[in-house]
Chains A and B, each alone.
Chain A
Amino acid sequence: MHALLNQSINLYAAFLLIVSFAMISQRRILSLVHLYTTQGVALVLATVTVAYLTSQPHLFYSAVITLALKVFLIPIMLHRVIDRLDVRWDIEPLINIPTTMLIGIVLVVFAFNLALPISQLSSSIARSTLGIALACVLLSFMMMIVRAKAIPQVIGFLAMENGLFFAATAATNGMPMIVELGIALDVLVGVLILGVFMFQIREQFDSLDIRHLERLREE
């Protein structure tokens, strides 16, 4: 049973990576929110598994918080924002999708190489997944860079935080509760501010295309 649960963490890691790649290749913004939700579910399952295997009760609490925030609260907020702003498609990213995926593969190789010596130092049960978590972070960061609309950038930011959370769970058996709550609060505030920001952009330029922001610089 233990071995099965051990391997299931690897499976969640792989699932997280697949979802990160799927996010890069998506054009529909609603699909991005759904993918983010599934990432949250995978995270919750992984945290519960690690909590059970290492018998650390505070990870259960952390899993509950993650469930409430990332599977329910934040996706609901994003849905409402999308409905009010009425955005559906992000058709033209700054670099086209196949090139983005190729860069993604290079980032994955880089992350795997980087994580190899570090994962040998860790003593956690799921230390080999550190490389995957790092790759997820880098991929989400890249998604933030190449997207042309504001909402996919926000989702990229949130996915980056997902990757960090998974890295923490996998490598160090969870973070101290205080740090956990602090990060969660940060993310919440960040999303609120970005929401306000998006409304301002929309009011100013009548569109959520961030390339319009370039008009604000001094000529």
Chain B
Amino acid sequence: MIHIDWILVIVAGWLALGVWALFALHRTKFVARRLFPLGGVLGLALAGVALDALFSTAEVAELVIGLPGLPMHLRLDELSAFFLLVIGAGTFGTSMFSAGYFRAGEGTAPGLLCLEYHVFLAAMALVTLADDAYCFMVMWETMALSSFFLVTANHRVASVRQAAYLYLLLAHIGAIAVLLCFGVLQANTGDYTFANLRAQHLDAVWASIAFGFAVFGFGAKAGLVPVHVWLPEAHPAAPSPVSALLSAVMLKTAIYGLLRIGFDLLHGGLWWWGAVLLALGLISALVGVVFSTVQTEMKRLLAYSSIENIGLIVTGLGLALIFRSYGMGNLAALALSAALVHVLAHAFFKNLLFLGTGAVLHATGERNLGKLGGLMRSMPWVAWLVFVGVLAGAGLPPLAGFVSEWLLLQSFLFTTALPNSFLDMLIPLVAAAIALVVALAGYAMVKFFGVIFLGQPREEKLLRAHDAGLWQRIGLAWFAAGCLAMGLLPVPLIDIVDRVTQRLLGAGLAQTVHANGWLLLAPIGLERASYGPAVFLGGVSAGVLLGVLIARRLYRGTLRRADPWACGYVGINARMQDTAEGFGQPIRQIFEPFFRITREQPSPFDARPHYRVDVQDRLWHGLYLPIARLVDWLARAVGRLQQGRISTYLMYSFVTLVIMLLLVRR
């Protein structure tokens, strides 16, 4: 019982920190330099405990809070431990970064921010530990509410308030769906503990309805298309450490929910559930990446990139469900391992990227890509650490993002064994789409890094931007080291993930992987496929060394600094380099049907000509605005019941009384 007790102690510690911060409401330095790092250390401890818990047996506990006779059941099994690892690792880096980030005078008082932050963390941890639907929903709500308050930290800006409102709305619609899902799962037994839900064996129709509710509810939280519209609004509106946590950690709790309901409580299920998840994941990935390449604001770009990565994870989950429904346990484990590795990898590199934007915002005050540039000279620490995140985000070997992509593509290669011929034929198309998504992600990452950190500064003040402080560097370096470590040592990573797949599917990759040593990752067999990132990096480094030897030793050339060549043009300035809009223009042209583009073009007769292009989401105008108008219309129609005349209200009461008397008479 010790792991779960330690975790509860850590959660209590976080809450205590939050309450302490209430007593230091406006003392920014104290809150930032003392309380946040303490919270970070607690997060690191959580990650350590979770890692240890992964390799031991499941534990239960009961919290007697809440209603009498309805205690909160908690359970720590491998799935919970894995997601606690994600939460803990993400918290450490982000809290350390926040210690150097928060300054005085930014909307909400820092003490209040600290309270909301730690309540958020505690709620997320308890969501993964919850073992009955009551505890789960209470913690889910707490998570949504505390994150809402975190997003409105700069509540004086109107756009932030709107974004947070949209976020709250969609979070609650999702929560209703999850509640309905639990309602269907308990199958009229009245007992909401997960143990009971697991024991129920629903027939296909009700199980599918429950699964549909789960996909809608958790998809709304994860950012699956078409309920993703809150993500690109809320993540940029929040302060950067909060955006990092939202993108990297909170979206994963939704994935946890999908895994818990889909694989654990519903025992796998039908093949077409997996096909639905596959389709949704693929569409989300494509939409997310295409939109991220055309953005002009750095945090929106990363928010859409999060949608893309969640899409890839859900695609892996769908594939695992398909395999499992056909009884191919090993292949299902391969696909699930790919998805879980991507969960961990994305947590690290997305955190790193968002915290990098935080550092840039902290130093320059600009978030529009058109006002940044050339920051590598004035902020080298941030630039190089973010570079690691960019390479990981683009899915390049030998870093973390490539391992999950490699595993996912491997699982596609083996689908020719499926009995269903229709699926068999669709799978190559899906694999091609995944390859396209990953290539486009590379495009977006090059745009992100190139426009912000490389080139000439587009504004004067960028030359005086200050580099990250010590706290910020610790946070960034933690995530960069994580990306490197996970990329270079995939075999221990597979060991970790294997514990989860054994619990959910009864199969795992660890045995075959260990047969080939720790350097090589060969999940099915050495002659089928293998990948050794350490040797890969060694090979590239050896080539680099060879090149340096040839260039510097054999031929002793000199180096001279001069003005840029620029094909002999004189007088080039910073405005002549490519803008973010320009860099995304080919994608805008090729994928035009995805967008709703409105253009204002100058005419020769304009006294003050201007050019404006607005790129928007088609779903917003096609789906959400009509629904909003419908709700408005319904509300107005119902509002007609309120006439304002007393006689009408008295008549309502009279009619109700008469009807009640009639009913009682029977």
Task: Tell whether A and B belong to one assembly.
Answer: yes
Interface residues of A (CB under 8 A from B): 98-99, 105, 109, 112-113, 116
Shortest Cβ distance from A217 into chain B, in angstroms? 29
Closest residue of A by beta carbon distance from B590? A98
Q: Are A109 and B590 in contact (CB under 8 A)?
A: no
Distance A87 CA – B425 CA, assembled complex (angstroms): 40
Shortest Cβ distance from B388 into chain A, in angstroms? 35
Distance A105 CA – B593 CA, assembled complex (angstroms): 18
Q: Are A112 and B425 in contact (CB under 8 A)?
A: yes
Q: Are B421 and A116 in contact (CB under 8 A)?
A: yes
Q: Are B590 and A113 in contact (CB under 8 A)?
A: no
Q: Which residues of A contact B422 (CB under 8 A)?
A: 113
Interface residues of B (CB under 8 A from A): 421-422, 425-426, 429, 590, 593
Shortest Cβ distance from A118 into chain B, in angstroms? 13
Q: Which residues of A contact B590 (CB under 8 A)?
A: 98
Known: A109-B429, A113-B421. 9 other contacts (CB 8 A): A98-B590, A99-B593, A105-B429, A109-B425, A109-B426, A112-B425, A113-B422, A113-B425, A116-B421
Q: Which residues of B contact A116 (CB under 8 A)?
A: 421
The 9 A-B pairs with the shortest beta carbon distances in the complex, nearest first, are A109-B425, A116-B421, A112-B425, A113-B422, A113-B425, A98-B590, A109-B429, A113-B421, A105-B429
Q: Which residues of A contact B425 (CB under 8 A)?
A: 109, 112-113
| 11 sample A-B contacts, Cβ–Cβ < 8 Å, listed by A number | A98-B590, A99-B593, A105-B429, A109-B425, A109-B426, A109-B429, A112-B425, A113-B421, A113-B422, A113-B425, A116-B421
Shortest Cβ distance from B478 into chain A, in angstroms? 43
Closest residue of B by beta carbon distance from A110? B425
Shortest Cβ distance from B587 into chain A, in angstroms? 13
Distance A116 CA – B425 CA, assembled complex (angstroms): 12
Distance A113 CA – B429 CA, assembled complex (angstroms): 14
Distance A65 CA – B421 CA, assembled complex (angstroms): 39
Distance A113 CA – B421 CA, assembled complex (angstroms): 8
Distance A112 CA – B428 CA, assembled complex (angstroms): 14
Q: Which residues of A contact B421 (CB under 8 A)?
A: 113, 116
Closest residue of A by beta carbon distance from B591? A98
Shortest Cβ distance from B359 into chain A, in angstroms? 40
Number of A-B residue pairs at CB separation under 8 A = 11
Distance A214 CA – B426 CA, assembled complex (angstroms): 39
Q: Which residues of A contact B593 (CB under 8 A)?
A: 99
Q: Which residues of B contact A105 (CB under 8 A)?
A: 429
Shortest Cβ distance from B281 into chain A, in angstroms? 20
Shortest Cβ distance from B205 into chain A, in angstroms? 27
Shortest Cβ distance from B434 into chain A, in angstroms? 16
Closest residue of A by beta carbon distance from B425? A109
Distance A84 CA – B425 CA, assembled complex (angstroms): 46
Shortest Cβ distance from A183 into chain B, in angstroms? 31
Closest residue of A by beta carbon distance from B592? A96
Closest residue of B by beta carbon distance from A96? B592
Distance A105 CA – B426 CA, assembled complex (angstroms): 11
Distance A6 CA – B429 CA, assembled complex (angstroms): 28
Shortest Cβ distance from B389 into chain A, in angstroms? 32
Q: Which residues of A contact B429 (CB under 8 A)?
A: 105, 109
Shortest Cβ distance from B418 into chain A, in angstroms? 14
Q: Which residues of B contact A113 (CB under 8 A)?
A: 421-422, 425
Q: Which residues of B contact A109 (CB under 8 A)?
A: 425-426, 429
Q: Which residues of B contact A99 (CB under 8 A)?
A: 593
Distance A109 CA – B590 CA, assembled complex (angstroms): 23
Q: Which residues of B contact A98 (CB under 8 A)?
A: 590
Closest residue of A by beta carbon distance from B593? A99
Distance A113 CA – B590 CA, assembled complex (angstroms): 29
Closest residue of A by beta carbon distance from B432? A105
Distance A16 CA – B445 CA, assembled complex (angstroms): 40
Shortest Cβ distance from B282 into chain A, in angstroms? 15
Shortest Cβ distance from A35 into chain B, in angstroms? 25
Closest residue of B by beta carbon distance from A108? B425
Shortest Cβ distance from A192 into chain B, in angstroms? 41
Distance A24 CA – B644 CA, assembled complex (angstroms): 68
Distance A112 CA – B426 CA, assembled complex (angstroms): 11
Shortest Cβ distance from B275 into chain A, in angstroms? 15
Distance A105 CA – B430 CA, assembled complex (angstroms): 13
Distance A116 CA – B593 CA, assembled complex (angstroms): 33
Distance A165 CA – B505 CA, assembled complex (angstroms): 51
Distance A112 CA – B424 CA, assembled complex (angstroms): 12
Distance A169 CA – B154 CA, assembled complex (angstroms): 73
Q: Which residues of B contact A112 (CB under 8 A)?
A: 425
Distance A112 CA – B425 CA, assembled complex (angstroms): 9
Closest residue of A by beta carbon distance from B421? A116
Q: Which residues of A contact B426 (CB under 8 A)?
A: 109
Distance A133 CA – B532 CA, assembled complex (angstroms): 44
Distance A36 CA – B425 CA, assembled complex (angstroms): 29
Shortest Cβ distance from B124 into chain A, in angstroms? 41
Distance A116 CA – B421 CA, assembled complex (angstroms): 9
Shortest Cβ distance from B469 into chain A, in angstroms? 49
Shortest Cβ distance from B436 into chain A, in angstroms? 12
Distance A116 CA – B429 CA, assembled complex (angstroms): 18
Distance A98 CA – B592 CA, assembled complex (angstroms): 12
Shortest Cβ distance from A25 into chain B, in angstroms? 15
Shortest Cβ distance from A216 into chain B, in angstroms? 31
Distance A98 CA – B421 CA, assembled complex (angstroms): 27
Distance A98 CA – B589 CA, assembled complex (angstroms): 12
Closest residue of B by beta carbon distance from A98? B590
Interface centre among B425, B426, B590, B593 (most CB of A within 10 A): B425
Distance A157 CA – B524 CA, assembled complex (angstroms): 49
Distance A99 CA – B590 CA, assembled complex (angstroms): 10
Distance A78 CA – B421 CA, assembled complex (angstroms): 42
Distance A98 CA – B591 CA, assembled complex (angstroms): 10
Shortest Cβ distance from B54 into chain A, in angstroms? 42
Shortest Cβ distance from A92 into chain B, in angstroms? 16
Shortest Cβ distance from A111 into chain B, in angstroms? 11
Closest residue of B by beta carbon distance from A116? B421
Distance A113 CA – B420 CA, assembled complex (angstroms): 11
Distance A66 CA – B371 CA, assembled complex (angstroms): 67
Interface centre among A98, A105, A109 (most CB of B within 10 A): A109
Distance A109 CA – B421 CA, assembled complex (angstroms): 11
Shortest Cβ distance from A135 into chain B, in angstroms? 12
Shortest Cβ distance from A103 into chain B, in angstroms? 13
Shortest Cβ distance from B193 into chain A, in angstroms? 45
Distance A116 CA – B590 CA, assembled complex (angstroms): 34
Distance A109 CA – B425 CA, assembled complex (angstroms): 7
Shortest Cβ distance from A51 into chain B, in angstroms? 32
Closest residue of B by beta carbon distance from A105? B429
Shortest Cβ distance from A206 into chain B, in angstroms? 32
Shortest Cβ distance from B342 into chain A, in angstroms? 27
Distance A112 CA – B429 CA, assembled complex (angstroms): 14
Distance A140 CA – B593 CA, assembled complex (angstroms): 25
Distance A98 CA – B425 CA, assembled complex (angstroms): 21
Distance A87 CA – B255 CA, assembled complex (angstroms): 58
Shortest Cβ distance from A89 into chain B, in angstroms? 21
Distance A141 CA – B320 CA, assembled complex (angstroms): 39
Distance A98 CA – B590 CA, assembled complex (angstroms): 9
Closest residue of A by beta carbon distance from B428? A109
Distance A109 CA – B429 CA, assembled complex (angstroms): 10
Distance A99 CA – B425 CA, assembled complex (angstroms): 20
Shortest Cβ distance from A218 into chain B, in angstroms? 34
Distance A172 CA – B429 CA, assembled complex (angstroms): 31
Distance A112 CA – B422 CA, assembled complex (angstroms): 10
Shortest Cβ distance from B66 into chain A, in angstroms? 53
Shortest Cβ distance from A112 into chain B, in angstroms? 6
